Homo-oligomer: A and B are copies of this chain.
Amino acid sequence: MLEKLKNEVYQSNMQLSKLGLVTFTWGNVSGIDRKKGLFVIKPSGVAYENLTPEDMVVVNLKGEVVEGKLNPSSDTPTHTVLYNEFPLIGGIVHTHSPWAVSFAEAGMDIPALGTTHADTFYGDVPVSDALSKAEIESDYEENTGKVIVRTFKEKSIDPSAVPAVLVRQHGPFTWGKDPQQAVYNAKVLEVVAEMSYHALQLTKADIKVPQFLLDKHYYRKHGKDAYYGQTNAKSKIHAKKI
A-to-B contact residues, CB < 8 Å: 23-28, 42-48, 50, 70-71, 73-75, 96, 98-99, 101-108, 113-116, 130-131, 133, 136-137, 140, 169-171, 184, 187-188, 191, 194-203, 205, 207, 209-210, 212-213, 216, 220, 227-230, 232-235, 237-242
**Beta-carbon nearest neighbor of A108 in chain B:** B202
Residues of B within 8 A of A42 (CB): 242
Q: How far apart are A98's CB and chain B's nearest CB, in angstroms?
A: 5
Indicate if the CB atoms of B98 and A44 lie closer than 8 Å: no
Residues of B within 8 A of A71 (CB): 229-230
**What separation, in Å, do the CA atoms of A213 and B202 have in the docked complex?**
25
Q: How far apart are A135's CB and chain B's nearest CB, in angstroms?
A: 10
**Beta-carbon nearest neighbor of A210 in chain B:** B133
Indicate if the CB atoms of B171 and A203 lie closer than 8 Å: no
Indicate if the CB atoms of A104 and B114 lie closer than 8 Å: yes
**What separation, in Å, do the CA atoms of A102 and B114 have in the docked complex?**
9
Indicate if the CB atoms of A203 and B50 lie closer than 8 Å: no
Known A102-B198, A108-B202, A116-B26; judge A242-B169 contact (CB<8 A).
no
Residues of B within 8 A of A240 (CB): 24-25, 45
**What separation, in Å, do the CA atoms of A50 and B235 have in the docked complex?**
9
Indicate if the CB atoms of A47 and B98 lie closer than 8 Å: no
Known A98-B195, A106-B203, A196-B105; judge A242-B25 contact (CB<8 A).
yes
Indicate if the CB atoms of B74 and A242 lie closer than 8 Å: yes
Indicate if the CB atoms of A114 and B107 lie closer than 8 Å: no
Q: How far apart are A188's CB and chain B's nearest CB, in angstroms?
A: 8
Residues of B within 8 A of A203 (CB): 106-108
Indicate if the CB atoms of A198 and B98 lie closer than 8 Å: yes
Indicate if the CB atoms of B44 and A207 lie closer than 8 Å: no
**Beta-carbon nearest neighbor of A144 in chain B:** B115
Residues of B within 8 A of A106 (CB): 198-199, 202-203, 205, 207
Which of B107, B187, B233, B237 contacts A205, CB < 8 Å? B107
Indicate if the CB atoms of B26 and A195 lie closer than 8 Å: no
Residues of B within 8 A of A101 (CB): 114, 116, 195
